[in-house]
Amino acid sequence: MPGTPRNPLVVVPALNEEASVEAVLTDLRRLLPDVPCVVVDDGSSDATATVAEAAGAVVLRLPYNLGVGGAMRTGFRYARDHGYDVVVQVDADGQHDPQYIPRLMQGLDDADIVIGARFAGVGDYVARGPRRWAMRLLARTVSTTAGRPLSDVTSGFKAMGPRAVRLFAHTYPAEWLGDTVEALVIAARSGLVIAQQPIQMRPRAAGQPSQGAGRATVYLLRAGIAVLIALLRPPAVVPPEGSFR
Ligand SMILES: Nc1nc2c(ncn2[C@@H]2O[C@H](COP(=O)(O)OP(=O)(O)O)[C@@H](O)[C@H]2O)c(=O)[nH]1
Ligand SMILES: [Mg+2]
């Protein structure tokens, strides 16, 4: 609903991002001083958690590595249990420019999930070869399920409204890329409205992406299979307001 007051929380999944997480949190605080940040440190072997705490974030430390999906589910549960009704996912590597967050959140007036989408007319992000084809096929599948064209279904930069927070606190796929494509399919099948906003993604500020190009392609294929399975399962029911678990 347009104009509804919101209580947003930024959730930052992080694995070994000591070199970039501080700048990400500083940027967020400068642009969105009233929005608290939770960093979900997923068994990092570096100083990510200490650096994030020193930068003023709440840090949730997972005892061992669960992957982005498991970390985000932790973030959604934290949001639900602490009265936040909007979650914005922002990566710890500096790729997600926080200046777009107000626009993503505005999109929640007419949608349950707003994806910050590369390839949607802004920026010059290009994926090549099999990766590009796999991404296109996944985008087409998700678009069909969602009933509207979505161009970037593997983007982690997203705003989730109240119904999505409740659904995802309850059901969020934990495997790699499950947190992107599969989560969108689950949401669409549960009747959630998914929209996108064009964004420009920045290069990683430091460190290494968690997957190289070859492995990324294999995982995209695996994501395709996960999506097929998600399509065969009965739709998940969105828990009603005020419910826990
Ligand atoms: N919690 C958690 N975060 C992760 C994991 N792997 C990557 N990340 C974080 O997820 C975000 C995106 O990861 P990245 O490797 O940059 O993926 P890419 O941008 O899709 O290439 C970054 O903030 C990473 O620190 C993980 O296993 N657990
Ligand atoms: Mg990245």
5-53 pLDDT, tens digit per residue, is 689 999 999 999 999 999 999 999 999 999 999 999 999 999 999 999 9
Residue 211 Cα to ligand 2 midpoint, Å, equals 9
CA–CA dist 208, 201 (Å, integer)? 16
CB 196 within 8 A of CB 117: yes
Pairing, β 113-117 against β 86-89: unpaired
* Better-predicted residue by pLDDT, 141 or 229: 141
Residue 204 Cα to ligand 2 midpoint, Å, equals 6
- Cβ-proximal residues to 124 (8 Å cutoff; 6+ apart), any chain: 200
Q: Which amino acid is at 161?
A: G
User: Per the structure block, which two tokens stand in for 25?
Assistant: 């949190």
pLDDT in the model for residue 179: 82
> Does the beta carbon of 106 lie inside 6 Å of ligand 1?
no
Neighbours of 187 (CB within 10 A): 27
Distance of CA 178 to the CA centre of its chain: 10
Closest ligand to residue 21's CA: 1
Domain boundaries, the chain: 8-232
Task: Read off the pLDDT band of 2 (50, 70, 90).
Answer: low
CB 137 within 8 A of CB 150: no
Mean pLDDT of the chain: 89
Q: Which is the CATH superfamily of the domain at 8-232?
A: Spore Coat Polysaccharide Biosynthesis Protein SpsA; Chain A (3.90.550.10)
Mapped onto helix, strand or coil, the DSSP state of residue 144 is: helix
> Does the beta carbon of 209 lie inside 6 Å of ligand 1?
yes
Structure confidence by residue, pLDDT tens digits, 90-134: 999 999 999 999 999 999 999 999 999 986 655 555 666 777 777
pLDDT in the model for residue 45: 96
What number of residues does the chain have?
Answer: 245
Tell me which of 66-70, 169-173, 204-208 is least confident. 204-208
Q: Whose CA is nearest to atom 24 of ligand 1?
A: 14
CB 39 within 8 A of CB 60: yes
Neighbours of 19 (CB within 10 A): 18
The pTM of the full predicted model, rounded to 2 decimals, is 0.91
Residue 39 Cα to ligand 1 midpoint, Å, equals 12
